[in-house]
Chain A
């Protein structure tokens, strides 16, 4: 909690407020200097480089990547990442600039995808060409954005959040059960929305007479084109009268209204503009996957995109792009146990290196960690040889006992052999809950107790990881998103690149 710039009302932990000294004024030097360390340096370098250059480098790298590698998986991740970037940029307008907590954002993405699928597929046999269907999709999504933003005229804050969340639930209910509706002469067996299986055989994009295939490379370019247009447009919008008005109403809607800013209209506009971006992203999604499926557009996707926007810093275009890329790449890496393990240990080590000062403490904790693990391993082995006889996981169903790393882990960790008849009572479960309890306890204690507690915490985390989490990628990935949201809000609500704001009470 030491990183973020202090706000006047904030309790500053152990140091009690000194009489006669204003905390805010006292620490102004710290704020001007900005965050220190490697990260702070990177932020300063990025801050000096012209934004347009950074954007060009990012888009250029994303577009060139498919030419550099023939690995289809990497290109697929590239295309997905760009789609997420597009979505995050769109969400940033309502959340980051206008300060509206719009939890119905996924509706626009889903609506765009479904509308494109209805217009350009065999479903209604319409097969509209892309230059007709995409503008229609974007126009109608913007319209939908205006309509669904109407509640913001009467509701603010939490109430607006809950009503927009209703819209998401309604949309999910409609698409999943829409197969019973035979509107506009829809095929009777699949109905309007195709139901749980969605709409298949959606046309790929056709641009200038050239039909894109379903290869991800083409959609990398489709998404990159969208990002370029939107990012440049939004950079100007952000500096314009409208952009300033949005930020004004984010800070204080009442004061903004008193200054003569048309608050209600600007709120509608913010949601609708974001919706348009999401609509285009939806069309790209439909064409890219050649189908739309109701399960895509649900609550977990909403959380993913919020995590992206929040991580980079809501309100900062570059931050949002950074957040989208980081989150999506991390989620992809977590998919494979071997890579996920690498990230896990690397993150622990980097965290220790960055946080533990002076080096004596670092050495003590690392040494303690090794000793603790070896001792635990020896004790468990002495009690029962089976308790340390297990292999390490290297794939969903692949295990190994050989190799340098496996040997290392098997002498440091307790890896029980065999499987559990009742998965509810597997040791990984207890270890996971205990780890969380220890991490929470760590935030409460100070000084040498914290370093002492750190050792068993880290070992237990590694134990939970090795025995259970490493093979549960589908669950660990969303878990990680929830953690990002909580930790960022508690440690640094402004995100990595956002500016800390002063709340005047």
Chain B
């Protein structure tokens, strides 16, 4: 490694900027990780296609925003504009997630464990290639920067600690969505059913819980969150493309594992940790080999603490 570090390590401005960037990326990972962690909690299935649902969400947001005159001639103020885009992407992705579950996973409930995994790989690849087919492989731009003279990028804050509206928007909406999800899981009847299914599907169905319906709701919620994350990615980082889902999905699943799979707060924590770690690796260590370093750390984590930070080791009973 012959890279010369051309900046000052004790520059707090840079440190805070990187921290906020990391938290922004991490919030997006966290939103995707919520979907992974819920599906894994209920079905014990690694849903490879989840990252691609997120990608489809980004594209839905792109088309809806463009249809409403984004970014140069918006037909309504910013807040309703974004709300419509988020609603469209979340609804579209929820429908997609439920469809995937119904047709690619439900027939495999009683199959050997490797079968749904391979089916999920197939769905992931199918969605990715469908996006290439429909919208070509080259990346698109949300062109947020052209919106009201880059108003969303104006820095706010105090002295060295600065962030933009858009970063604030993303971090806050992640917090809001996570709280809403926690409320749903802990305070509603369906949430209770979900927790019951994740502990023991068979016993839950004996108690009169419609397991298929619970699984459907899980996919619906997880995919809607992924859709929201897709639109946020587009607005904050501008560039979207058919291949964006694969890497993000991989990191988000690891975020779910890091936080303790099946644990909602853990998934958010894991997402933020991975986002910050990734940004710091790019900023302070190496930009070319950032994936290499990040994945090495993650492999070690998976090997030595695969129950996650907040997870509890489960004793396997035969």
Contact = CB atoms under 8 A, between A and B. Distances in A.
Which interface class (under 10, 10 to 19, 20 to 34, 35 or more) fits A?
35 or more
Interface in A151-186: 151, 154-155, 157-159, 161-163, 165-167, 169-170, 173-174, 177, 180-182
A485 B119 contact: yes
Given A101-B118, A166-B250, A483-B122, 5 more contacts: A162-B250, A469-B133, A486-B126, A489-B116, A490-B103
A501 B112 contact: yes
Contact of B299 (A166, A177, A476, A485): A166
B126 A154 contact: no
A315 to B, nearest CB: 11
A505 to B, nearest CB: 8
B45 to A, nearest CB: 8
Given A180-B2, A429-B134, A493-B111, A254 B125 contact: no
Contact of A7 (B110, B133, B135, B254): B110
Contact of A154 (B122, B123, B136, B306): B306
A157 B289 contact: no
A432 B133 contact: yes
B254 to A, nearest CB: 7
A297 interface: no
A432 B126 CA distance: 13
B187 to A, nearest CB: 30
A482 B115 contact: no
Nearest to A314: B114
B205 interface: no
Contacts, number: 153
B165 interface: no
Interface of A: 1, 7, 9-10, 95, 99, 101, 151, 154-155, 157-159, 161-163, 165-167, 169-170, 173-174, 177, 180-182, 254, 299-300, 303, 306, 310, 423-424, 429, 432-433, 440, 443, 468-469, 472, 475-476, 478-479, 481-486, 489-490, 493, 501, 503, 505
Interface of B: 1-3, 40, 44-46, 63, 99, 103-104, 107-119, 121-127, 129-130, 132-136, 246-247, 250, 253-254, 257, 288-292, 295-296, 298-299, 302-303, 306, 316, 318
Contacts of B126: 479, 482-483, 486
Contacts of B290: 173
B110 A303 contact: no
17 contacts: A7-B110, A158-B44, A158-B117, A159-B302, A161-B117, A162-B250, A166-B298, A170-B296, A174-B289, A174-B292, A177-B292, A306-B121, A440-B103, A475-B129, A482-B126, A486-B119, A489-B122
B250 A165 contact: yes
B104 A177 contact: no
A464 B257 CA distance: 41
B133 A490 contact: no
- Chief secondary structure at chain A's binding surface: helix
Among A166, A174, A424, A468, residue most surrounded by chain B Cβ atoms (within 10 Å): A166
Given A151-B302, A161-B46, A443-B103, A503 B123 contact: no
Contacts of B122: 303, 481-486, 489
A492 to B, nearest CB: 10
B110 A10 contact: yes
Contact of B254 (A161, A162, A167, A483): A162
A69 to B, nearest CB: 32
Contacts of B289: 173-174, 177
Among A1, A167, A424, residue most surrounded by chain B Cβ atoms (within 10 Å): A424
Contacts of A429: 133-134
Contact of A299 (B110, B246, B292): B246
Contacts of B109: 9
Contacts of B113: 157
Contacts of B295: 166-167, 169-170, 173
Given A154-B306, A254-B318, A170 B292 contact: yes
A101 B108 contact: no
B108 A493 contact: yes
A424 B63 contact: yes
B135 to A, nearest CB: 6
A1 B107 CA distance: 10
Given A162-B253, A479-B130, A485 B292 contact: no
Contacts of B132: 475
Among B3, B111, B132, B290, residue most surrounded by chain A Cβ atoms (within 10 Å): B111
Contacts of B108: 489-490, 493
Nearest to B136: A423
Contacts of B40: 158
Nearest to B290: A173
Given A151-B299, A424-B135, A503 B112 contact: yes
Contacts of A163: 299, 302-303
